[in-house]
Amino acid sequence: MKGLNIHVIEKRFDSVVVLADIDVTISGGEFVAIVGPSGVGKTTLLSMVAGLDADYTGAIRYDGVPLAEPGQSPPGLGMVFQEPRLMPWLTVRDNVRLAEAERLARDRSYVSRADSLLDEVGLRTSGDAWPSHLSGGMQRRTALARAFVVEPWLLLMDEPFVSLDLPAANQLRELLRRLCARVRPLVLFVTHNLSEALVLADRILFLGDTPARVVLDYRVEQTGSHDLNSPEVAALSRRLLARHQGLLSDVAGVDVDEGRRGKEGL
Amino acid sequence: MRFIRRRVGAGGLPRTSGRSEPRVAARTGWRRFRLPSRRGWLWRSASLTGLVAVWEIAARLAGSNMLPTPVAVLAAVYRYTRSGQLPLELGITLARVGAAFVVAMTVGTVIGFMMGRSRKLNLLLDGPLVLALNIPALVIIILCYLWLGLTDVAVIVAVALNKIPVVVVTTREGTRAIDSRLLAVAQVYHVPRTVTLYRVILPQLYPYLIASARNGLALIWKIVLIAELLGRSNGVGFELSVFFQFFDITSILAYTLAFAVVVMAIEAGVMRPLEKRLLRWRG
């Protein structure tokens, strides 16, 4: 089987089954958004792919080979968490270099790309700053630089742009688009904002139901618009929800309204 | 202007009369702007001068050998320093303090870290830990002398044993507070183990390690003196026991003063700069 195959027979927390019967295959370089209501298990699914949660039945493979050694994360992985998760005691540059530590230790001829990445995300002058002195948007830029400095083939993002104001979130989405165009990773992007998924992704997996499964696997018609609030995006999400009303009843109705009002999630 | 804005912004409090400013400053945490100021030193030296003045007056009123004047004590310090006796004994004691400190911090930190990481080990060692915390220092010292002889090794072991449980408790607390979300970052990026230790784990433990190092220094030098008094024939503790037998209060105070000054110098010259360096990212 070609590509990334996520096959989850069952994932439970104690006696509660949260994810079941998931079997999706994603080809390399695809940008896939995972959309669903909060608490549905999106983050859990991402943790499983990241190798941070191995307590489930099923298998995650790439081209038929297990993605990672048991108890480890897949090699060549980049990950952006819901919060920036920077080490407050490391400078911005050292935070980015931390992701390179393995490469720097393994390959003597490898020269750190931290500064060029910081340049790319617009933090050229902030390399020596402490993370606590940066704004929320700048901290997220640092997290993006850290994820892309390893030139990941697989990028996992867990609602990376929530709790930012709209202009800052728009800028970061634009930055993400640029970085992805250069590195071409396979992206799994968790969000509960349908409009965000529509402007970023090639394909959307809607999680729903209890226990959660993929209720709709949707290939995004490109609107050409990068603006969450554009009429094209609003029309697209309305059409999508109308067509799949039954399936998506508990998925994303609220988020379309949110998108129209110009709010970002939460 | 910047200060004023900070004060209003950070505390969320309107500017009121000048008198309430120190309170506002303490609450909003920009106290650090004031601390190194000249006024801070003024207060410190004022309290010191006051102490010496009270001592001088009391000594004159008492007018006996029971309470020598500050000048007499300083003269004794000078005398013992010139004869070379004070530096020698001080050096011997400090060497013991240093050895016991290193042993206690190393062993205590390792055990505390492991207990914080492993539930089973914690269950296994928690009982003995509580017991060890409550055994009187004197008992440990006497037993070590009996088992290991009246040697320096016995002193160092005894003092370290007294301090280790305290280090263990503090380090265990710190280890439990380690943020697993930051460890996840290290795992995701395959950060090598040693780098993870030094760049992800230890920085989270530094505040705890510094706290136990500071308390440790204070505790250890007190216990070393008792151990020396009980079973060694040199060191500050031994000298004090001799002066005790001769009712030589001036010499006792002279040695105490010298020792206290050295310990304060270590605190100011090593501990505080170290803390500043390790925790500078908080600034």
| Residues spanned by the domain of B118 | 87-283
Regarding an ipTM greater than 0.85, the answer is yes
Q: What is the pLDDT of residues B164-219, one digit of tens each?
A: 999 999 999 999 999 999 999 999 999 999 999 999 999 999 999 999 998 888 89
Contact A189, A31 (CB under 8 A): yes
Give the helix/strand (H/E) hosting A22: strand A16-26
- In angstroms, the CA B171 to CA B128 distance is 16
Instruction: Kindly list the residues from chain B whose CB atom is less than 8 angstroms away from the CB atom of residue A51.
Output: 187-188
Count, residues in chain B: 283
Name the nearest CA neighbour of B254 among B72, B1, B99, B84.
Answer: B72
Q: What is the pLDDT of residues A171-195, one digit of tens each?
A: 999 999 999 999 999 999 999 888 8
- In angstroms, the CA A135 to CA A261 distance is 25
**B189 vs A105: CB contact, 8 Å cut-off?**
no
Supply the pLDDT for residue B44: 82
- pTM for the model stands at 0.80
Contact A258, A266 (CB under 8 A): no
The minimum CA-CA distance between A229 and chain B, rounded to whole Å, is 33
Q: Which of B187, B200, B281 sits opposite A73 (nearest CB)?
A: B187
Look at the alpha carbons of A250, A255, A258, A263 in this order and tell me if their dihedral is positive or negative: positive
pLDDT-derived band at B28, boundaries 50, 70, 90: very low
Mean pLDDT, to the nearest integer, of B115-132? 94
Q: What percent of chain B has pLDDT over 70?
A: 86
Mean pLDDT, to the nearest integer, of B220-241? 93
Tell me the backbone φ, ψ of residue B135, rounded to 5 degrees: -75, 130
Supply the pLDDT for residue A249: 61
Supply the pLDDT for residue A248: 66
- Domain annotation covers residue B277: yes
Contact B108, B173 (CB under 8 A): no
Instruction: Kindly list the residues from chain A whose CB atom is less than 8 angstroms away from the CB atom of residue B183.
Output: none
**A79 vs B188: CB contact, 8 Å cut-off?**
yes
Interface of A with B (CB under 8 A): 50-52, 72-73, 75, 77, 79, 81, 83, 85, 87-90, 94, 98-99, 101-102, 105, 130, 132, 146, 150
Instruction: Kindly list the residues from chain B whose CB atom is less than 8 angstroms away from the CB atom of residue A85.
Output: 181-182, 184-185
- Domain annotation covers residue B241: yes
User: Which domains occur in chain A, in start order?
Assistant: 4-76+152-173+181-221 (3.40.50.300), 84-151 (no CATH)
Among A89, A90, A134, the strongest candidate for a mutation testing the B interface, having the largest count of B CBs within 10 A, is A89
Contact B262, B90 (CB under 8 A): yes
- Domain annotation covers residue B58: no
- Domain annotation covers residue B99: yes
Output the average pLDDT for chain B.
86
- Domain annotation covers residue B239: yes
Instruction: Kindly list the residues from chain A whose CB atom is less than 8 angstroms away from the CB atom of residue B184.
Output: 50, 52, 81, 85
**A105 vs B195: CB contact, 8 Å cut-off?**
yes
Supply the pLDDT for residue A106: 92
pLDDT-derived band at A203, boundaries 50, 70, 90: very high
The more confident residue out of B251 and B35 is B251
**Above 80 in pLDDT, residue B39?**
no
How open is the CA angle A48-A87-B274, to the nearest 5 degrees?
Answer: 145
Structure tokens at B121: 């080990």
How open is the CA angle B131-B137-B142, to the nearest 5 degrees?
Answer: 110
Supply the pLDDT for residue B38: 65
Instruction: Kindly list the residues from chain A whose CB atom is less than 8 angstroms away from the CB atom of residue B192.
Output: 101-102, 105
Q: What is the pLDDT of residues A63-108, one digit of tens each?
A: 989 999 888 999 999 999 999 999 999 999 999 999 999 999 999 9
- Domain annotation covers residue B59: no
The minimum CA-CA distance between A45 and chain B, rounded to whole Å, is 15
Domain count, chain B: 1
Q: What is the pLDDT of residues A212-255, one digit of tens each?
A: 889 889 898 777 777 888 888 888 888 888 888 766 665 544 44
**A102 vs B186: CB contact, 8 Å cut-off?**
no
Q: What percent of chain B has pLDDT over 90?
A: 69
Q: Which amino acid belongs to residue A94?
A: D
Instruction: Kindly list the residues from chain B whose CB atom is less than 8 angstroms away from the CB atom of residue A112.
Output: none
C-alpha distances out from residue B55 to A57, A136, B43, B71, B244, Å: 77, 56, 18, 10, 21
**B189 vs A77: CB contact, 8 Å cut-off?**
yes
The minimum CA-CA distance between B92 and chain A, rounded to whole Å, is 38
- In angstroms, the CA A121 to CA A115 distance is 10
Supply the pLDDT for residue A1: 67
In chain A, the largest separation of any two C-alpha atoms, in whole Å, equals: 57
- Domain annotation covers residue B103: yes
> What CATH number should be reported for the domain holding residue B110?
1.10.3720.10
**Above 60 in pLDDT, residue A39?**
yes
